[in-house]
Amino acid sequence: MTGRTAPSGGSRPPLSLEEYAERARTRLDPAVWDFIEGGAGEERTLAANLAAFDRIRLSPRVLTGTGECDPSTTILGRRWGAPVAVAPMAYHTLMHPEGETATARAAGAAGLPLVVSTFAGRTYREIAAAAASPLWLQVYCFRDRDTTRRLIEHAAAAGFEALVLTVDTPRLGRRLRDLRNDFRLPPHIVPANLPADQADYSSPSEHGRTGLDPSLDWSVIAWLRSVSQLPVLVKGVMTAEDARRAIDSGVDGIVVSNHGGRQLDGAPATLDVLAPVAAAVDGRCPLLLDGGVRRGRDVLGALALGADAVLLGRPVLHGLAVAGGDGAAGVLDLVLEELSEAMTLTGTATVADADASLLTGEAPHRGVADAALPAVPGNTAATGLRKQDLHRSVSDPVLDTMNFLNEITGRFPDVVSFAPGRPYEEFFDKDEILDHIRRYLDHLAADGASDHAIRTALYQYGPTAGQIRGLIRDSLRADEGIDTAPEAIVVTVGAQEGMLLTLRALFANPADVLLVASPCYVGITGAASLLQVPVHPVEERADGLDVADVEAAVLAERARGRRPRAFYVVPDHSNPSGNTMSRRAREELLELAARHDLLILEDSPYRLVSPGVQLPTLKSMDPARRVIHLGSYAKSVFPSARVGFVVADQPVRDPSGAETLLADELAKIKSMVTVNTPALSQAAVAGALLACGGRLTERNAVPAKHYGEALRVTLEQLDRHFPEDVRDRLGIGWNRPSGGFFLTVRVPFPADNAALLRSAEDHGVIWTPMAYFYPGPGGERSIRLSFSYLSPAEIEEGIGRFAAFLRAEIERSGATGPTPGRDT
Ligand SMILES: Cc1cc2nc3c(=O)[nH]c(=O)nc-3n(C[C@H](O)[C@H](O)[C@H](O)COP(=O)(O)O)c2cc1C
């Protein structure tokens, strides 16, 4: 990031990108200047891009002890000197005869990638020869796909590492400056990688109209995959919805871009749409942004709003125009110098540390409609909060799924509900809870605790890791074959807190990915969303999880440069699918974990309330301590206690060689979350454990029988309403779990919220759309039925209503026959 020699024509090197722009303007032919500088229409969007960055205010933070900051980052498995790359721009040769080769040298010197335009003025081979950092190819899809395919093959052969498909250009925007100037490329400026004889390229707008394919849809991603192995990014996404579709289409990255204001005039500034797009992407792929980046601090602003990196457009052309490769290098150096300054003055040690806490004052997406904020009654000075200003997780649909169900249950109180995964209430005895607490106090006294110590245990803040760890250890030994020390246990506020603590501790860097069996319990994906942990779903097959699929996910993530850190699974009677992993699959999973240095997060709350003998827990099969076991007493004791625990016996070594257990580290985090699990709750659970000598299987013998019976009645009623030949004809099916609270019904129509509403309104029965449990697409034609909360008579009535709903819905949609798509 050293200053360069003064590009000729100025008394000193330009001190800002603005100065580079000014010097470039004086050097270039006015029509060429207009061509690079201009935007579409009235250039509102062009101006908005710049204005949005102008509104960013960063918080200076002092005495942070940050020292040297590190602006480097890793994208698609490659280290970049900073989260900046050069945006694809046509014809660098218009700025300087060396064109893209000069830019590639400059980018290489700064350790930054260059995205080379389809309309590059130099060949891909020449550019690659000059490059010392990653090259990506920007792809325009032509009507003639063969031309596009050849372009991609040439770039791949030259060593380009990724494809960036520009998706905002079914035609070129009306750029009035070019129209007024009747802009034509000089004869020597040609696209060096396109067939010279096939088109007249001299008028970019004219060629755009005749050459570009205006009818592209999302299937183009699959086409690109069919012609190239390279990762595919899409450039030009501006809405959360399109970002989701892009991810559903399997892209490897997204560039939020409005083409530097050159396409749809009136489109918002890219920075203004970044936060909602980032919320939708939720770390599932790299997210880049371009448009209006003109200073190093702009880079930091974009990162704070959720980008992983930015592309720099016009300023690089300005540098080239001013002094060729040296000028482009000067521009990049300046941006990196300013970024380093901004990071230091905001106490941002690394790129991963840049988050929304850096922002202060008016956020970029504010300003337009502040006046339209609803007034809060009775408080005229109230501050209206915008959802976009809150953490992106609050916009994550996963955090909302249960609200819809609760709302619908409230609206139709007389429905039979197969929605809640709740224990059957007839087993609750209102006096028992007091007996449990009494029993625990007596136990403490019998153990020799003084009155004073017992008072403290009950009334005072307690030990962070919990005060009933010994009893939990005994119970795990008796019931689960898990042999662990009390010190390896942290008592948590439900298993949910256990998930939060575990993810917080394990996921230290943005390249760490959580793999989850999918469909997946929303508690873990929700916690991942809160912590911005990227999630990679591994889809269960109809008969359960295939460990080969987990391995494929591990390898795919590695290939993307990310680190699969842990795999979350409910091995027994899974919520939501009801499937159980076989013993063989458990062994294979543990072998895989060892092979790939993967941790397993085992969550298994239904075992102890399921009939029959259970398969061994993963934790009990795990001498290598790869399994972190998340426990819950919600089903086996009662949910209101909100007591869970984590068995985290993994040794943790610090740089001095000192060793703790992962449980100790979780307790540190817990001390800042819930301080300790309420003593009253622990006392009640402890009393319940003492009552059965730690053998919760024995305590739950009757409930387990009940749940087994509820499952049997549910299956029997489904069989009765839909005998095999009928269900085959209608395209309905279901699995046959061996226990737990849930099963999966496959249907031949979309089982979405609209269908759920019809089911509640017209048939008086509620269920849960399986799609709620898919972190990505999937489950659209599946339903989760939960039978745990209902009596056999209610189940019988409810399945009758459910059957009527299924028949009505099949008739309504005209859909019968085998269910397309996924099975669970
Ligand atoms: C002269 C010029 C040519 C461009 N050519 C392309 C191109 O060939 N392909 C593409 O995807 N985007 C192209 N763009 C858009 C840029 O990649 C980028 O989206 C935009 O310039 C970023 O905004 P900024 O210039 O404000 O930094 C071009 C932009 C300019 C200014």
Name the residue with the closest Cα to ligand 1, atom 20: 260
SS3 8: coil
Give me 67's structure tokens.
Answer: 């020292």
Q: For residue 36, which atom of ligand 1 is closest to its CA?
A: 1
- CATH value of 398-426+702-813 in 3.30.540.10, 3.90.1150.10, 3.20.20.60, 3.40.50.300: 3.90.1150.10
**What pLDDT is stored for residue 218 in this prediction?**
92
Q: How far is the CA of 559 from the centre of ligand 1 (A)?
A: 29
What are the structural domain ranges in the chain?
A: 17-360, 398-426+702-813, 459-690
Single-letter amino acid, residue 681? S
CA 125 to CA 359: how far, in whole Å? Answer: 42
Hey, what's the torsion of the CAs at 571, 573, 574, 580, to 10 degrees? 50
Residue 376 burial (C-beta neighbours within 10 Å; 0-12, 13-18, 19+): exposed
CA 356 to CA 302: how far, in whole Å? Answer: 10
Quick check: 721 and 803 in contact, CB under 8 A? yes
Ligand 1 lined by 272 (C-beta under 6 Å): no
Q: Where are the alpha helices (DSSP H) in 376-483?
A: 401-411, 432-446, 451-459, 469-480
Name the residue with the closest Cα to ligand 1, atom 13: 89
DSSP 8-state class, residue 86: E
Q: How far is the CA of 25 from the centre of ligand 1 (A)?
A: 17
Ligand 1 lined by 263 (C-beta under 6 Å): no
Ligand 1 lined by 363 (C-beta under 6 Å): no
**What pLDDT is stored for residue 634 in this prediction?**
97
Residue numbers of the chain with a pLDDT score lower than 50? 1-10, 365-381, 819-824
User: Is it true that domain 459-690 has CATH number 3.40.640.10?
Assistant: yes
Name the residue with the closest Cα to ligand 1, atom 19: 259
Ligand 1 lined by 290 (C-beta under 6 Å): yes
Name the residue with the closest Cα to ligand 1, atom 5: 89
Ligand 1 lined by 312 (C-beta under 6 Å): yes
Q: How far is the CA of 89 from the centre of ligand 1 (A)?
A: 5
Ligand 1 lined by 314 (C-beta under 6 Å): yes
Q: For residue 115, which atom of ligand 1 is closest to its CA?
A: 17
**What pLDDT is stored for residue 8 in this prediction?**
47
The set of residues, in sequence order, having a beta carbon less than 8 Å from that of 203 and lying 6+ positions away, is 183, 184, 185
Ligand 1 lined by 117 (C-beta under 6 Å): yes
CA 212 to CA 202: how far, in whole Å? Answer: 15
Q: Which residue, among 405, 398, 406, has the nearest Cα to 526 in the 3D structure? A: 398
DSSP 8-state class, residue 691: H
Give me 161's structure tokens.
Answer: 């590492």
Quick check: 65 and 348 in contact, CB under 8 A? no
CA 665 to CA 377: how far, in whole Å? Answer: 45
Q: How far is the CA of 19 from the centre of ligand 1 (A)?
A: 20
CA 560 to CA 557: how far, in whole Å? Answer: 5
Q: Which residue, among 711, 717, 743, has the nearest Cα to 612 in the 3D structure? A: 711
Is the CA virtual torsion 40, 43, 44, 46 positive or negative? positive
Ligand 1 lined by 547 (C-beta under 6 Å): no
DSSP 8-state class, residue 7: P
Quick check: 636 and 472 in contact, CB under 8 A? no
Q: How far is the CA of 258 from the centre of ligand 1 (A)?
A: 9
Quick check: 31 and 94 in contact, CB under 8 A? no
Q: Which residue, among 591, 585, 574, 583, has the nearest Cα to 735 in the 3D structure? A: 574
Taking only Cα atoms into account, the Rg of the chain, rounded to an integer number of angstroms, comes to 30
Ligand 1 lined by 259 (C-beta under 6 Å): yes
Ligand 1 lined by 121 (C-beta under 6 Å): no
Active site residue 259: yes
Q: How far is the CA of 180 from the centre of ligand 1 (A)?
A: 20
In terms of residues, how long is the chain? Answer: 824
Name the residue with the closest Cα to ligand 1, atom 3: 89
Ligand 1 lined by 764 (C-beta under 6 Å): no
Pairing assessment for the beta strands 489-493 and 643-647 based on DSSP bridges: antiparallel
**What pLDDT is stored for residue 4 in this prediction?**
45
Name the residue with the closest Cα to ligand 1, atom 11: 166
CA 278 to CA 746: how far, in whole Å? Answer: 33
Catalytic residue among 92, 96, 207, 259: 259
Ligand 1 lined by 755 (C-beta under 6 Å): no
The set of residues, in sequence order, having a beta carbon less than 8 Å from that of 304 and lying 6+ positions away, is 56, 58, 354, 355, 356, 357, 358, 359
Quick check: 181 and 203 in contact, CB under 8 A? no
- CATH value of 17-360 in 3.40.50.2300, 3.20.20.70, 3.40.50.300, 3.30.1490.190: 3.20.20.70
Q: How far is the CA of 378 from the centre of ligand 1 (A)?
A: 50
Question: If you search the block for the tokens 């696209």, which residue do you land on?
Answer: 191
Terminal-residue alpha carbon distance, the chain: 54
**What pLDDT is stored for residue 196 in this prediction?**
82
What ipTM does this complex have?
0.99
Ligand 1 lined by 100 (C-beta under 6 Å): no
CA 425 to CA 430: how far, in whole Å? Answer: 11
Ligand 1 lined by 85 (C-beta under 6 Å): no
Q: How far is the CA of 295 from the centre of ligand 1 (A)?
A: 17
Q: How far is the CA of 262 from the centre of ligand 1 (A)?
A: 8
Quick check: 457 and 467 in contact, CB under 8 A? yes
Q: For residue 46, which atom of ligand 1 is closest to its CA?
A: 26
Residue 239, number of CB atoms within 10 A of its CB: 14
Q: How far is the CA of 90 from the centre of ligand 1 (A)?
A: 7
Quick check: 700 and 610 in contact, CB under 8 A? no
- Supply angle C-alpha 283, 289, 290, rounded to 5: 175
Q: For residue 35, which atom of ligand 1 is closest to its CA?
A: 1
**What pLDDT is stored for residue 823 in this prediction?**
35
Name the residue with the closest Cα to ligand 1, atom 7: 89
Q: For residue 117, which atom of ligand 1 is closest to its CA?
A: 8
Ligand 1 lined by 87 (C-beta under 6 Å): yes
Of 43, 50, 89, best ligand 1 pocket probe by most atoms within 8 Å of the beta carbon: 89
Give me 453's structure tokens.
Answer: 């110590």
CA 301 to CA 288: how far, in whole Å? Answer: 13
Of 36, 94, 112, 259, best ligand 1 pocket probe by most atoms within 8 Å of the beta carbon: 259
CA 349 to CA 282: how far, in whole Å? Answer: 23
The set of residues, in sequence order, having a beta carbon less than 8 Å from that of 398 and lying 6+ positions away, is 522, 525, 526, 529, 772, 775
Quick check: 92 and 36 in contact, CB under 8 A? no
Q: How far is the CA of 257 from the centre of ligand 1 (A)?
A: 9
Ligand 1 lined by 318 (C-beta under 6 Å): no
**What pLDDT is stored for residue 748 in this prediction?**
96
